[in-house]
Structure 1
């Protein structure tokens, strides 16, 4: 299998090797984004927000902040922590802190995903260039070749052209599929962060209003 792959690359000519670089970059981006979105920035929002809500309603804001510190790299915990650290500074401060934190983590979630679409186009075009150059070189050589070599040269030229086309399209399809999946995951994560940031803002607002009501009743 390795020999067949090596022969496939060798038959593809120089643009095949250029497209190998494109494929390596694409695979690196896909693997890195999968790790980041699935593990580093990901957090199970349901149980996490339930614990945050219980701690906030019981007045343990400091413990809620420490809970966020247990997953310091997760996008949701970073945003929630930003709001909790300003919980005693008024609704406007909390709202501004949450909005700033969402704007800070959103690029971390979507980073480099858009590059996959560009790499798909680059791989397709490189494959097309390799196809055209392979055919041009073949037809130029056929004119000066002896009859017994024409069939061999034609086969080699067609192999170079088709290999470049197939390889370029394979990279492009892989990049497009990965782009769609990663974009969907990133969008869902950002929406989840925004929704739970709003939940926290409303929770702190209700908590503040409740405390104010108690103080008024005592007064």
Structure 2
């Protein structure tokens, strides 16, 4: 309890600006963590590979129109739907395997960017909070040593110990903000990687099915 009371006193000290700066970094970090946890753990599931099996069955049966309709319905809730729709539409339009792959890769890149957005800021804010804490401690120590230069020798030790205690609050608070931010950065980054891998495997499965059951444009033109 004394530790938190000491931190609270740091917000009223002469160097309180550093404490408020760290608090701003903490608020932004918490907002990012909450938003990303909801986006990656609540709204997303690692099930894209399972969802691709039904679409792959339609492709194997040669019913691309049905596969396209199913993918478009799926796109309202699942990222695989948009990726599959792009690839299947390219196959229907006789674009060729390269166009199918490019269309699917384009949406895969967009989805990867969407999954990983703002996660990197957590590491940045953790470093910023730590550095601000060190800066606040250094400036606090400078003020403390400057303040005792004209003080009574009997009071110097008390003034110096109090000044150092307040100065160290910024470092402690900076670390208190940085450690959870770094932990959540690792957790969210791992979750984003797993979601991305799941989607890539599902998309690759569909591309393989389209490749096996797709005739090049040149061959279709010859038959026509």
Kept in 1, the 8 Å contact 2:49–2:202? The answer is no
Q: What is residue 176 of structure 2 aligned with on the other side?
A: 170
1:79 matched to 2:83? The reply is: yes
- Superposition RMSD in Å: 2.5
Q: TM-score, normalised by structure 2?
A: 0.80
Going from structure 1 to structure 2, the CA distance change for 1:161 and 1:73 (only over 3 Å counts) comes to farther
- Distance in 2 (CA, whole Å) between partners of 1:115 and 1:184 is 15
Q: TM-score, normalised by structure 1?
A: 0.82
1:138 matched to 2:139? The reply is: no
Deviation at 1:97, TM superposition (A): 1.0
Kept in 2, the 8 Å contact 1:43–1:74? The answer is no
- Distance in 1 (CA, whole Å) between partners of 2:16 and 2:102 is 56
Kept in 1, the 8 Å contact 2:122–2:182? The answer is yes
Going from structure 1 to structure 2, the CA distance change for 1:7 and 1:171 (only over 3 Å counts) comes to same
Which residue among 102, 111, 114 is the counterpart of 2:117? Answer: 111
- Deviation larger for 176-185 or 67-76: 67-76
1:100 matched to 2:106? The reply is: yes
Which residue among 47, 51, 66 is the counterpart of 1:48? Answer: 51
Query: Relative contact order (alpha carbons < 8 A, sep ≥ 6): 1 or 2 greater?
Result: 2
Partner SS, residue 145 of structure 2 = helix
Q: How many residues align?
A: 208
Q: What is residue 196 of structure 2 aligned with on the other side?
A: 190
Kept in 2, the 8 Å contact 1:123–1:171? The answer is yes
Unaligned residue ranges in structure 1 (runs of 5+): 210-219
Partner SS, residue 86 of structure 1 = helix
Going from structure 1 to structure 2, the CA distance change for 1:152 and 1:72 (only over 3 Å counts) comes to farther
Kept in 2, the 8 Å contact 1:80–1:197? The answer is yes
Kept in 1, the 8 Å contact 2:68–2:88? The answer is yes
Going from structure 1 to structure 2, the CA distance change for 1:10 and 1:75 (only over 3 Å counts) comes to farther
Unaligned residue ranges in structure 2 (runs of 5+): 216-224
Kept in 1, the 8 Å contact 2:74–2:80? The answer is no
Partner SS, residue 145 of structure 1 = coil
- Distance in 1 (CA, whole Å) between partners of 2:83 and 2:195 is 12
Superimposed CA distance per residue, residues 130-176 of structure 1 (whole angstroms, 9 cap, x where no aligned partner): 11111111111112223464344223312222211111112222222
1:57 matched to 2:57? The reply is: no
Superimposed CA distance per residue, residues 56-85 of structure 1 (whole angstroms, 9 cap, x where no aligned partner): 333443443344334435333322222122
Which residue among 6, 9, 18 is the counterpart of 1:7? Answer: 9
Q: What is residue 199 of structure 1 aligned with on the other side?
A: 205
- Deviation larger for 160-169 or 56-65: 56-65
